[in-house]
């Protein structure tokens, strides 16, 4: 007589997971490879020594000094020096360099005469990150050079060094970068990229766990094994996947906050507990997809697309305040938005539990309720034996 009950289903599902190389690779191998990929990709933190092209039409002492100042910045490396503008444009079109910097003729003469002169920088705006870094460092280098030239002219006119500096720079600034003191893109992007890619794996695998029993017409067997108790059937079947995903989440958070060194101001236990809640929420949405769709193939397609879209609406790389009211409301149909906002506020910024974070938790609870509402529909499909699909599906 076949064994029945919660433990029987749980053990059977564990055996199925660990006896299937393909399932193990997708469940464990792919997430670990993704974690390593993002860790390696963003290990430097910021892009450095981006190749740029210099066209120096003056060939003077001051123009060479400006070239050295530009080359000394962290983001730019003068990889090409050309003799005409057309040749410099070709290096950008070929993708060999990200910017063309042109120092005009009579550059030194105009500076010595205190005549206004322009140094041009053409950069490729299609690449937002390199363009932003080049623009920032170019303005800093050119501004420092201009201030130095102005101070030198004032000293030649008779002012003391301190007076010349105070005339050129009458006010000072003291900037403090919060939450990401090194302005590291590794800190900034890994916090979102790792759970985002992992969420897609959770969604796809969970839909497979719920949908495969219907696809292969084994619904009646599952109900019989659970003594017709639908909650036992659902929880025992999905729990092995939940445990594996929670352990991988622990690995991910350890990598983020201890290996990569993302600034951390929260409690590690709370962060992992919230991630486990996020796993349950994602699986609830997977259950919803598997229950309402007419085939596992459709559920996997829609579920994967839904998960992939979540990053665009998370309000992470583009602030929600800049979105329309409709789009801001649309953000909340994706659990990933609430997960990311809570994680950033609590773990990165160190903001203690408040009404805003409570709203994120309530929003995630709504997704669990949405999955629970589909239990009768899933039970009905199990009673039938499976999906109403063609034999070839």
Average confidence (pLDDT) over 119-124: 87
Q: Which residues pair with 81 in a beta bridge?
A: 54
Q: Are residues 123 and 193 in the same domain?
A: no
Q: How confident is the model at residue 390 (pLDDT cuts 50, 70, 90)?
A: very low
228 in the same domain as 345: yes
Q: Which residue, 37, 39, 33, 45, is CA-closest to 259?
A: 39
Q: Distance between CA atoms of 338 and 321, rounded to whole angstroms? A: 15
In whole angstroms, what is the distance from residue 77 CA to residue 72 CA? 8
**In-domain check, residue 62:** yes
Residue 9 φ then ψ, to 5°: -70, -40
72 with 34, same domain: the answer is no
Whether residues 304 and 287 share a domain: the answer is yes
Higher pLDDT among residues 129 and 302, named by residue: 302
The CATH number for 58's domain is: 3.40.1710.10
Q: What is the pLDDT of residue 393?
A: 41
Q: Report which of residues 87 and 188 the model is more confident about.
A: 87
Report the pLDDT averaged over residues 350-368.
Answer: 84
Q: Looking at the domain assignment, is residue 208 inside a domain?
A: yes
Does 90 share its domain with 21? no
Q: Which pair of structure tokens corresponds to residue 42? A: 């963003």
**Domain finish residue from 168, 195, 210:** 168
Query: Could you report the per-residue pLDDT of 132-176, keeping only the tens digit for each?
Result: 889 888 988 888 888 877 777 777 777 776 776 667 667 767 776
Domain membership flag for residue 162: yes
Of residues 201, 378, 207, 202, the one with CA closest to residue 282: 202
DSSP annotation of 357: H
* Mean pLDDT of the region 35-53: 84
3-state secondary structure of 121: strand
The encoded tokens of residue 358 equal 């409570």
Q: Is residue 392 part of a domain?
A: no
| Domain span at 235 | 6-42+185-384
If you average pLDDT over residues 68-73, what whole number do you get? 90
**Cα distance between residue 66 and residue 103, in whole Å:** 9
pLDDT > 70? residue 115: yes
Question: How many CB atoms are located within 10 Å of the residue 183 CB?
Answer: 10
Integer Cα distance of 328 and 320 in angstroms: 6
If asked whether residues 141 and 162 sit together in one domain, one would say yes
Instruction: Specify if 240 maps to a domain.
Output: yes
């Amino acid at each position: 007589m076949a064994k029945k009950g919660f433990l029987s289903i749980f053990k059977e599902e564990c055996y199925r997971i660990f006896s299937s190389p393909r399932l193990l690779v997708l469940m464990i191998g792919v997430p670990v490879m993704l974690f390593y990929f993002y860790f390696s990709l963003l290990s430097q933190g910021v892009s450095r020594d981006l190749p740029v092209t210099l066209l120096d039409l003056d060939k003077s002492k001051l123009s060479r000094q400006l070239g050295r100042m530009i080359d000394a910045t962290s983001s730019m490396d003068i990889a090409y020096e050309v003799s005409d503008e057309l040749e410099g444009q070709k290096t950008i079109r070929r993708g060999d360099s990200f910017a063309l910097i042109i120092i005009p003729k009579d550059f030194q003469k105009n500076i010595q005469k205190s005549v206004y002169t322009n140094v041009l920088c053409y950069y490729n705006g299609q690449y937002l990150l390199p363009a932003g870094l080049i623009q920032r460092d170019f303005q800093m280098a050119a501004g420092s050079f201009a201030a130095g030239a102005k101070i030198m002219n004032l000293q030649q006119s008779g002012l003391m060094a301190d007076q010349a500096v105070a005339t050129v720079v009458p006010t000072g600034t003291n900037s403090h970068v919060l939450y990401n003191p090194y302005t590291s893109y590794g800190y900034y992007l890994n916090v979102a990229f790792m759970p985002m890619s992992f969420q897609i794996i959770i969604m796809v695998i969970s839909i497979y766990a719920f949908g495969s029993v219907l696809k292969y017409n084994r619904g009646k067997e599952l109900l019989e094994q659970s003594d017709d108790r639908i909650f036992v059937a659902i929880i025992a079947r999905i729990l092995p996947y939940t445990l594996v995903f929670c352990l991988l989440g622990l690995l991910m958070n350890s990598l983020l906050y201890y290996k990569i060194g993302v600034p951390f101001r929260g409690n590690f236990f709370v962060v992992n507990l919230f991630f486990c809640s996020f796993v349950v929420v994602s699986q609830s949405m997977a259950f919803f997809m598997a229950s309402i769709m007419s085939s596992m193939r459709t559920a996997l397609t829609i579920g994967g697309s839904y998960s992939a879209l979540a990053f665009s609406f998370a309000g992470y790389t583009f602030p929600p305040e800049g979105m329309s009211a409709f789009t801001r409301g649309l953000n909340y149909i994706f659990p990933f938005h609430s997960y990311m906002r809570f994680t950033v506020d609590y773990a990165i910024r160190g903001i203690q539990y408040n009404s805003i974070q409570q709203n994120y938790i309530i929003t995630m609870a709504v997704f669990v309720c949405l999955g629970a509402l589909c239990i009768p529909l899933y039970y009905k499909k199990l009673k039938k034996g499976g999906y109403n699909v063609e034999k070839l599906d």
